[in-house]
Amino acid sequence: MTTLSSSTGPLLQVENLCIDVTLVGGKKTVPAVRNVSFQVEAGEAVGLVGESGSGKSLTLRTILGILPNGVRATSGRVLFEGVDLLKAPKRTVNRLRGTGITMIFQEPMTSLNPIAKVGEQIVDAARAKHSWSKSEAGEHALSLARHMGIPDPENTLSLYPHELSGGLRQRVMIAAALACQPKLVLCDEPTTALDVTIQAQIIRLLVQLKDELGMSMLYVTHDLAVVAQLCQRLEVMYAGSIVESGLVRDVFRQPDHPYTQGLARATPDVDAVVDQLTGIRGNAPTLGNWPHGCAFHPRCDYATDECRTGNFPLRETSTGRASACIHIDRLHESMAKEGSR
Amino acid sequence: MTVTILDFNDVTVSFMARRGKTKKPINAADHVTFSVRKGEIFGLVGESGSGKSTLARLAVGLNSAASGSVVFDGMVLANGKRPRPLRRRIQMVFQDPFSSLDPRMTVRQQLMEVLKVHDAIPAGERAAHCEKIFAQVELPISLLDARPSQMSGGQRQRVAIARALLLSPELLVADEPVSALDVSVQAGIVQLFADLRSQLGVSIFFIAHDLAVVRHLCDRVAVMYMGKIVEEATTDQLFSNPRHPYTRALLDSIPRLLPDAHEQVVAPEGEPPSLSRLPSGCRFRSRCPNATEKCVSEEPSLIAVTSTEANSSHLASCHYANDLEVYVGRNRTS
């Protein structure tokens, strides 16, 4: 296998990615992702955070080349170990699926085959890339299942997906995804459909797997708190663009974008009570109806006339951090005032 | 003496579960007793399958109780279809505003239909009443002629709340009304419920799985696990001094918005058992870090927690509710 890869450079580098969506009826095409750039280093976990319609899931799907019909990456590059996946021949991309990049989906019930035993599905995933015999792959599946904390694996692997609980199904999905030792795992809200105690178990499992196997993770979610548990860095998306980027630790101490601040404030804190829960006023813009200028300006407390027109690319605010907001000083000032009260 | 508006007295709700050729009843709610007081927001929390929605649906008459009684404002509610004047007094808000509204009718048509069916208001005053309620849920009047597909999730949920409020109910049953919404609009809906209670004095029976939302909104909370209430207390007591291991496990599992949270992921062991194969004794014992022989042999009942606060009614169904060590939240260390 040819790898242009180098010891230098990130494992995954997305550059100026733009994605268009053709609306129902096929007449109108609107942007869904605009000039998105970010990278994932080897061994790193990056959170891609945004609400519904922000373009986070489409960005994730582009990487694996599994965009739905009517959705197309129009420009930009997706470099995995130096290979541009948007331009690479299908064969190359196919070879990378499973061994290089893999994906864990939100709803294991719709991603697993309902009429195949779950053990077979892990075996199939392993045999797709390795020239293993059935029994070798079976051994591998069993050891994977043990590793995933699946209780009584010999018995559980001979069951069908509908016979398993949501948490177990998700463990099976993760086992199948990791069957070929991928370098990068894409996660599309894998815990959103789970109960909170099971979510905590799956998060703990992912943290542990990441540390043990040294794999990289790109984790899409709407939940900032889940990112806090799993990721070192995060990228915040709003209306198809990244509006803030930085280390989780830094961003949570002091956000550099009013949207990130609003999102953190809107998340109710279970350890403290506030007099009034503040959401972000208005509603997130829908596809095709993005405001001009900074897309967040109609909902922003700091917006000025300047925000209504023009482009607001990410700009470095301090080492390793970037924000698309031009009013960071005022944002920080008001946060400092609140903090001192 | 506090006045209650809704009482569940030893209520059991059964469903027939088919396993192969045999049918066997399972109890989605199992001998449950608690009350919602007049003018309060009462939260019922639990994970999927705990029975919380079953009780919400029972309150509005969408389920039947196998035994026990549901009492609304002093009246025992019979199973089956309820007379219209009674239905007016208890209204429901469902979880998913995408499926609880009619996609082919404008919002105005849907609201007017409710008023027409119940004939609670003279025909001439109905339009004005719709607009008044619309303002109450903080929606622009222009949206009255929109269809649900033209609205965002948050707006749709406000419409669903408006529809429930049209008949000036005394009790609002809200079944996970914010869990399908984006975080940035969820806070606004939670605040709306709080405002409606203080402005209209309506009592709210609020079902949720999100403890953080409950903490911000509710006066009292009950926690359900596998069809049983495991703990009931005022919100302050429940969060500051949880006395059931399951409540503690729930609290510990919630991901926190903290910079170094990844260093302290806490997760309880095991999965909830199946309702058709419950463990003997305490239902939580298979996942409980403190389980003993007594928990295997003897099912705990709700007992009063000896609390420092006078006049409190803090109940927990754990043999060791009063012996557990002081709860230190996993993030209280710093």
Q: Which residue of A has its CA nearest to B182?
A: A51
Question: Nearest to residue B66, comparing CAs of B19, B8, B23?
Answer: B8
pLDDT at position A1, please? 43
Mean pLDDT of chain B: 90
Beta strands A315-318 and A321-323, pairing class: antiparallel
Q: Which of A167, A196, A280 sits opposite B184 (nearest CB)?
A: A280
Count of residues making up chain B: 334
Q: Which of B210, B250, B257 sits opposite A264 (nearest CB)?
A: B257
Question: Is pLDDT of B261 > 80?
Answer: no
- Summarised one tens digit per residue, pLDDT across range A205-264 is 999 999 999 999 999 999 999 999 999 999 999 999 999 999 999 998 899 999 999 999
Lowest mean pLDDT among A32-41, A329-338, B224-233: A329-338
CB pairs under 8 A between A and B: 138
pLDDT at position A312, please? 94
Q: Which of A199, A222, A252 sits opposite B257 (nearest CB)?
A: A252
User: To the nearest whole angstrom, how far is the Cα of A23 from the nearest Cα of chain B?
Assistant: 15
What residues of chain A lie within 8 A of the CB of B46, using their CB? none
What residues of chain A lie within 8 A of the CB of B210, using their CB? 268
Interface check B154 vs A, CB under 8 A: yes
Question: Is pLDDT of A281 > 70?
Answer: yes
Confidence of residue B333 (pLDDT cuts 50, 70, 90): very low
ipTM of the shown complex:
0.86
What residues of chain A lie within 8 A of the CB of B187, using their CB? 265-266, 268, 277-280
Mean pLDDT of the region A34-43: 96
Q: Is B211 in contact with A203 (Cβ distance < 8 A)?
A: no
Count of residues making up chain A: 341
Confidence of residue B307 (pLDDT cuts 50, 70, 90): low
What residues of chain A lie within 8 A of the CB of B155, using their CB? 283
What residues of chain A lie within 8 A of the CB of B265, using their CB? 200, 203-204, 207, 229
pLDDT at position B120, please? 85
- Secondary structure element (H or E) that encloses residue B17, with its range: strand B4-19
Question: Is pLDDT of A76 > 90?
Answer: yes
Q: What is the CA radius of gyration of chain A?
A: 21
Q: Is A268 in contact with B213 (Cβ distance < 8 A)?
A: yes
Lowest mean pLDDT among A309-313, A327-331, B177-181, B263-267: B263-267
pLDDT at position B311, please? 62
User: To the nearest whole angstrom, how far is the Cα of B187 from the nearest Cα of chain A?
Assistant: 5
- Summarised one tens digit per residue, pLDDT across range A262-271 is 999 888 888 8
Confidence of residue A9 (pLDDT cuts 50, 70, 90): confident
Lowest mean pLDDT among A26-40, A67-81, B267-281: B267-281
pLDDT at position B21, please? 80
Confidence of residue B332 (pLDDT cuts 50, 70, 90): very low
Mean pLDDT of the region B41-57: 93
Mean pLDDT of the region A169-190: 93
Confidence of residue A38 (pLDDT cuts 50, 70, 90): very high
pLDDT at position B108, please? 95
What residues of chain A lie within 8 A of the CB of B271, using their CB? 165, 167-168, 198
Question: Is pLDDT of B308 > 70?
Answer: no
If one compares A14 and A279, the residue with the highest pLDDT of the two is: A14
Q: Which residue of B has its CA nearest to A202?
A: B267
pLDDT at position B166, please? 95
Mean pLDDT of the region B165-183: 94
Domains in chain B, CATH or no CATH each: 4-101+168-316 (3.40.50.300)
Mean pLDDT of the region A294-316: 94
Q: Which residue of A has its CA nearest to B216?
A: A273
Best of A46, A152, A196 to mutate (most B CBs within 10 Å, chain B): A196
Mean pLDDT of the region A48-71: 93
Mean pLDDT of the region B235-246: 94
Amino acid making up residue B120? A
CA distances from B181 to A59, A262, A291, B97 (A): 22, 15, 22, 9
Q: Which residues of B, range 216-255, sit inside 8 Å of A by Cβ?
A: 216, 239, 249-255
- Summarised one tens digit per residue, pLDDT across range A106-120 is 887 788 999 999 999
Burial class, A24, CB count within 10 angstroms (exposed 0-12 / middle 13-18 / buried 19+): exposed
pLDDT at position B330, please? 63
pLDDT at position B275, please? 86
Q: Which residue of B has its CA nearest to A251?
A: B259
Question: Is pLDDT of B331 > 60?
Answer: no
Best of A24, A159, A195 to mutate (most B CBs within 10 Å, chain B): A195
pLDDT at position B263, please? 61
Mean pLDDT of the region B140-144: 93
What residues of chain B lie within 8 A of the CB of A284, using their CB? 152, 182, 184-185
Mean pLDDT of chain A: 91
Q: Is A196 in contact with B216 (Cβ distance < 8 A)?
A: no
SS3 A180: coil
pLDDT at position A7, please? 52
What residues of chain B lie within 8 A of the CB of A276, using their CB? 191
pLDDT at position A292, please? 94
Mean pLDDT of the region A150-172: 91
Question: Is pLDDT of A51 > 70?
Answer: yes
Burial class, A152, CB count within 10 angstroms (exposed 0-12 / middle 13-18 / buried 19+): exposed
Q: Is A197 in contact with B268 (Cβ distance < 8 A)?
A: yes
Q: Is B265 in contact with A200 (Cβ distance < 8 A)?
A: yes
Mean pLDDT of the region A132-149: 91
Q: What pTM was estimated for this model as a whole? A: 0.89
Q: Which residue of A has its CA nearest to B266?
A: A200
Confidence of residue A333 (pLDDT cuts 50, 70, 90): very high
Question: Nearest to residue A252, comparing CAs of B320, B228, B231, B256?
Answer: B256
Q: Which residues of B, range 262-291, sit inside 8 Å of A by Cβ?
A: 262, 265-268, 271-272
DSSP code of residue B15: E
Q: Is A279 in contact with B184 (Cβ distance < 8 A)?
A: yes
Confidence of residue B277 (pLDDT cuts 50, 70, 90): confident
* Paired tokens of B121: 């208001």
- Summarised one tens digit per residue, pLDDT across range B83-138 is 888 999 999 999 888 889 999 999 999 999 999 999 989 999 999 999 999 999 99
User: To the nearest whole angstrom, how far is the Cα of B54 from the nearest Cα of chain A?
Assistant: 17
Question: Is pLDDT of B334 > 60?
Answer: no
Q: Which of B190, B268, B271 sits opposite A165 (nearest CB)?
A: B271
User: To the nearest whole angstrom, how far is the Cα of A266 from the nearest Cα of chain B?
Assistant: 6
Confidence of residue B310 (pLDDT cuts 50, 70, 90): low
